[in-house]
Structure 1
Amino acid sequence: MEALPRETIVDVLEARLREDILDGRHPAGSYLPPERRLADGYGVTRTTLKHAFGRLVQAGLLETRHGVGTKVRDYARLGGADLLPMLVRHDAKWVHEIFEVRRSVGALIAERAAARATRAHHAELRRLLEAVREADGADAVQLADVEVHRALARATGNRVYALLTNTLFNAYLPVRAALRGPFTDPESAHRRLAPVVEAVTSGDSRRAHTAADAYLRDTERIMLEGLA
């Protein structure tokens, strides 16, 4: 069994402030009320409030200026993909948009990998694909599947594709436990993914794109059924 996390008052306040910002109760571009008034309103000390502010500044939702105040950042205009895990926790509808990008980027990565992969990449892909079939349990199969996609991204020779792949996986990490549907049976997971690896290792870019698109659509459908 896994121990449950213990929330502190700062954790609770951070979550409350985050929800208030993302729900629009503190609109983008607006300044939060003075610290003393805000702390009284939430029933916390100013020290606790400052700790929560620090986390939200680091998350990209707030910015503070000495002598001016604390401003809500326009995350939709200024934020980056690092905000996605937080946004998914707030609203699972973000997952649908993440999957749309996953389809288009994933198919393109497979196409590029087929054109650029070396023999060493081919050997790694085959080894990692076999690890999917040998994994024990849905969680292990899912993580083994992730490693195949990371290897496909590396095989493109473009480090940005590798970072994009990491970003997309990290984005739905908060709801990963609900997305295990395609990975409950190792043999089925292997069978779905094998055409992608086979097309890439044969150097057939068009077939790799088609196979990756089919794989991504199929697994997306199963994962969204689980999320629903």
Structure 2
Amino acid sequence: METLPRETIVDVLEGRLREDILNGRHSAGSYLPPERTLADGYGVTRTTLKHAFGRLVQAGLLETRHGVGTRVRDYLRLGGADLLPMLVRHSPDWIDEIFEVRRSIGMLIAERAAVRATAQQCEELRTLLAAVREAQGGDAVQLADVELHRGLARTTGNRVYVLLTNTLFNAYLPVRAALVGPFTDADAAHDRLEPVVEAVRSGNAAEARRAAETYLTATERIMLDGIR
């Protein structure tokens, strides 16, 4: 059994403020009430409030200007993909949009990988594919699958694809346990991925794209069924 995390008052306040911002109680572009008023309203000290503010500034939801106040940041206009894990925790509705991007980016990565893969990278992909079949348990198979997709992204020779791949996996990390469906059977997970790897190894870009679309669509369907 895992030890349950112990929430501090700062953790609780951060969560409350985050939900109030994402739910629109504090709208984008608006200034929060004065610190004393807000602290009294939440029943906390101003020191606790400042700590929570600091976290939300780092998260990209608030911005503080000395002598002016603390304003709610327009995260949809100004934010980056690093906000996705937090947004998924707030609302599972984001998962559908993440999977849409996962599908389109994954197809493009497979296509590019087929064009650019070196002999050494092809062998690495074979090794990573074998690791999927050898993994024990859904969680381990899922992680092995992730590593193969990182390998495909590296094979493109474009580091931005690698970062995008990391971003998409990090985005659904908060609900990863609920998305284990496609990975409970290591052999089946291996067999779904094998056509992608073989198309990349053969240098067939069109086939790699089709195989990736088939794989991503099938696994997306299974994963979404697991959270609905």
Q: Tell me what 1:160 maps to.
A: 160
Query: Do structure 1's residue 67 and structure 2's residue 67 form an aligned pair?
Result: yes
Q: Tell me what 2:58 maps to.
A: 58
| Per-residue deviation, 1:6 | 0.3
| Per-residue deviation, 1:131 | 0.3
State the AA in 1 paired with 2:175: V
Q: Tell me what 1:118 maps to.
A: 118
Q: Tell me what 2:89 maps to.
A: 89
In the TM superposition, what are the counterparts of 1:2-13 in structure 2 within 5 Å? 2-13=2-13
Q: Tell me what 2:106 maps to.
A: 106
Q: Aligned residue pairs: how many?
A: 228
The 2-side partners of 1:76 and 1:143 are apart by 30
User: Could you list the runs of 5+ residues in structure 1 that have no partner in the other structure?
Assistant: none
The 1-side partners of 2:160 and 2:6 are apart by 37
State the AA in 2 paired with 1:170: N
Q: Tell me what 1:31 maps to.
A: 31
Q: Provide Cα deviations, 1:174-221, integer angstroms capped at 9, x if missing partner.
A: 000000000000000001000000000010000000000000000000
| Per-residue deviation, 1:107 | 0.3
The 1-side partners of 2:170 and 2:24 are apart by 25
| Per-residue deviation, 1:142 | 0.1
What SS does the aligned partner of 1:123 have? helix
Runs of 4+ in 1 over 4 A off after TM superposition: none
Q: What's the TM-score once normalised by structure 2's chain length?
A: 1.00
Q: Tell me what 1:201 maps to.
A: 201
State the AA in 2 paired with 1:67: G
What SS does the aligned partner of 1:63 have? strand
State the AA in 2 paired with 1:23: N
Q: Tell me what 2:216 maps to.
A: 216
Q: Tell me what 1:181 maps to.
A: 181
The 1-side partners of 2:109 and 2:63 are apart by 36
User: Could you list the runs of 5+ residues in structure 2 that have no partner in the other structure?
Assistant: none
The 1-side partners of 2:75 and 2:207 are apart by 38
Q: Provide Cα deviations, 1:151-193, integer angstroms capped at 9, x if missing partner.
A: 0000000000000000000000000000000000000000100
In the TM superposition, what are the counterparts of 1:35-54 in structure 2 within 5 Å? 35-54=35-54
| Per-residue deviation, 1:47 | 0.3
What SS does the aligned partner of 2:63 have? strand
| Per-residue deviation, 1:49 | 0.2
Query: Do structure 1's residue 79 and structure 2's residue 79 form an aligned pair?
Result: yes
| Backbone CA RMSD of aligned residues | 0.3
State the AA in 1 paired with 2:152: L
Q: What's the TM-score once normalised by structure 1's chain length?
A: 1.00
| Per-residue deviation, 1:110 | 0.1
| Per-residue deviation, 1:121 | 0.5
